[in-house]
Amino acid sequence: MENDILTQQCRPAATHNFSKHPCFNVESRHLYGRIHLAVAPKCNVQCNFCNRKFDCTNESRPGITTAVLKPMDALHHLDEVEKKINNLAVVGIAGPGDPFANPEETMRTMELVHAKYPDKLLCVSSNGLNIYDYIPRLAQLNVSHVTITVNAVNPEIGAKIYEWLHFNEKTYFGAEGAQLLLMRQTEAIKRLKEYGIIVKINSVVIPEVNEHHVNEIAKYASKLGADIQNCIALIPVKGTPFEQLHEPSVSDMRIVRAKTSVYMTQMKHCARCRADAIGLLGQDVSVSVSETFNTDLYIAVASSSGVSVNMHLGQASDLYIYGLEKGNVKLIEKRNISHIRRMKNRWVELANALQDCSIILVSQVGTLPQQILKDKSILVKAVEGSVHDIVSSLFHSKSIPKEYLRITGFCQSGDNCYR
């Protein structure tokens, strides 16, 4: 019965087959998969529950990804995944930042995907702050639905959730920022419905902050014409202002959904997906970006001799640059980067010096350079071992042997988390 309700309430002016959308059809989650293309690293709102610095294969939560892709690399990644998975019905963009804090990358990626895969359902998830002007283009691309994350419709409550937001070259704080965000979200939801686009409202349920307010969000969004709400239990993340809060229990969420269902149909099977999720909801498959990167680009290696990957990125004076020529791995050059150490924006300058590279292999790396380089679409891999073996694995679309992998960043899984 719930399936029928979802299908009836989620039919836009354009014709879309929602029977294959795992977020809108409960049964299809077991049959059809989705892929999220992580092309949007920047965010224009800082939420007090969000930390996008860490990536771990043992974590599945919004806002994290192994790598940030450029639009053409995202299409290449999709091409490769299509060869391995035959049930992908939906292509979405959900970060790791906000798609419309990165509008050109987001729209270009959607244009490329729509041109090559016109039968795929396209969707995008946003905080709603900057989406308004792009809605006509989304409609032209036949985007089937848009998710807007609304965590408060009371600016005083919103002020507790959002640290700041950045809009039109100005930064807003407190209730003023929350009020602006709500106004922009309201305008966006109305316009999306005018264009016949299905709107899903995501609401993070935060104990002691908005848990008793979520039904008001449902009531407000329903009046605007939104179609369905997805109440998401807070994941307390280390390094955020809300890290000490508890995650709402299944019972807590049942009570929240009972109250909100008075106003809106509820999605109850959310998997709280990563920004690079692939496969069925709750059953993501591992097809890493490092296995599908553009082989026209090079691999940089931090090595003392070119034989083994054995240098910390922060200590390397040179990087060995490798490419693929007629199917064979070839050393292109030994590139000196010692002068970059003295520069003010060291890691940004390093990214600029490695624009022809898609991956850097190092023995160790700090969280800050890892994040900055990832934001510049350069994946950093912490490994130790034979340069030839590791580089060959990457260029020939194979996984790096597990014995070569080392820990980078942080996750609560401890020393058993290799990535």
Domain boundary residue, one of 233, 268, 289: 289
Please indicate, yes or no, whether residues 356 and 243 belong to a single structural domain of this protein: no
Greatest Cα-to-Cα distance within the chain, rounded to the nearest angstrom? 66
Please determine, for residue 57, whether its predicted confidence score (pLDDT) is greater than 70: no
Where does residue 187 rank: exposed (0-12), middle (13-18), buried (19+ CB within 10 A)?
middle
In single-letter form, the type of residue at position 39 comes to V
pLDDT attached to residue 124: 94
pLDDT attached to residue 287: 52
What whole-number distance in Å separates Cα of residue 224 and Cα of residue 193? 8
Please indicate, yes or no, whether residues 284 and 308 belong to a single structural domain of this protein: no
pLDDT attached to residue 263: 93
Please indicate, yes or no, whether residues 106 and 230 belong to a single structural domain of this protein: yes
Please indicate, yes or no, whether residues 237 and 263 belong to a single structural domain of this protein: yes
Please indicate, yes or no, whether residues 283 and 371 belong to a single structural domain of this protein: no
CATH number of the domain at 367, please.
3.30.420.130
Is the model more confident about 397 or about 109? 109
Please indicate, yes or no, whether residues 252 and 347 belong to a single structural domain of this protein: no
Question: Mean of the per-residue pLDDT values for the chain?
Answer: 81
Please indicate, yes or no, whether residues 364 and 385 belong to a single structural domain of this protein: yes
Domain count for the chain: 2
User: Tens digit of pLDDT for each residue in 261-310?
Assistant: 999 988 875 555 666 677 555 455 545 554 455 556 899 999 988 899 99
Domain boundary residue, one of 273, 289, 305: 289
Please indicate, yes or no, whether residues 378 and 259 belong to a single structural domain of this protein: no
CATH number of the domain at 123, please.
3.20.20.70
pLDDT attached to residue 395: 84
Please indicate, yes or no, whether residues 398 and 276 belong to a single structural domain of this protein: no
Please indicate, yes or no, whether residues 201 and 128 belong to a single structural domain of this protein: yes
Please indicate, yes or no, whether residues 64 and 154 belong to a single structural domain of this protein: yes
Please indicate, yes or no, whether residues 254 and 377 belong to a single structural domain of this protein: no
Q: Which segment, 74-83, 171-180, 328-337, 368-377, is predicted with the most confidence on average? A: 171-180
**pTM value?**
0.67
Domain boundary residue, one of 289, 307, 341: 289
Mean pLDDT of 388-402: 79
Q: Which domain holds residue 327?
A: 293-416
